[in-house]
Amino acid sequence: MIQVIPPKAPAATAGWIELPRPPAWVSLGFDARMYAHPGRGLKVISAVEVASDPGDIDKGPEYHISISRYSGRCSSSDARQVLEDFGLDGAEEDNHVPGGVVRNFWRPVAEHLIGIECPCKASEPVMVEDKGDYVWRGVPGGER
């Protein structure tokens, strides 16, 4: 597969090691790269994906960064540093997994669409964990 828009990669001096590509079932068939930062105990999957729901604004392809700590969820502080390392300023966190260990960040490739929030944020219930450090959204009327 030829990838016209490559996934984000970290700055060469940031201490990340590229790992073998994740399997297609992990990246939902999109081209993805996986990185580890041994010094910080973090792992990242970086991809370019098109995520759309009927009735949503079409943002086209988006950079998607998933961050985890080797032993669980990373902190907001860790996530901010990862986004800086990968040059993903303006990314929006959007998680949909209760008790999830991965934090997901999205940013449209098209710069004029950066900052437009996912419409789901207005209709899905907000769930807060880790004293407010982790937020995920449930399905309206669904299990919480």
Tens of pLDDT, residue by residue over 90-126, are: 998 888 777 778 999 999 987 777 777 766 667 676 7
Amino acid at position 31, single letter = D
Question: What per-residue confidence (pLDDT) applies to 23?
Answer: 86
The H or E element that residue 80 is part of is helix 76-85
Quick one: what percent of the chain has pLDDT higher than 70? 76
What mean pLDDT value characterizes the chain? 82
Instruction: Give the CA dihedral 97, 8, 82, 112, nearest 10 degrees.
Output: -80
Question: What pLDDT sits at residue 127?
Answer: 64
- Please state whether the predicted TM-score (pTM) of the whole model is above 0.95: no
SS3 category, 18:
strand
Residue 87 has pLDDT above 80, yes or no: yes
Look at residue 120 and give its three-state secondary structure: helix
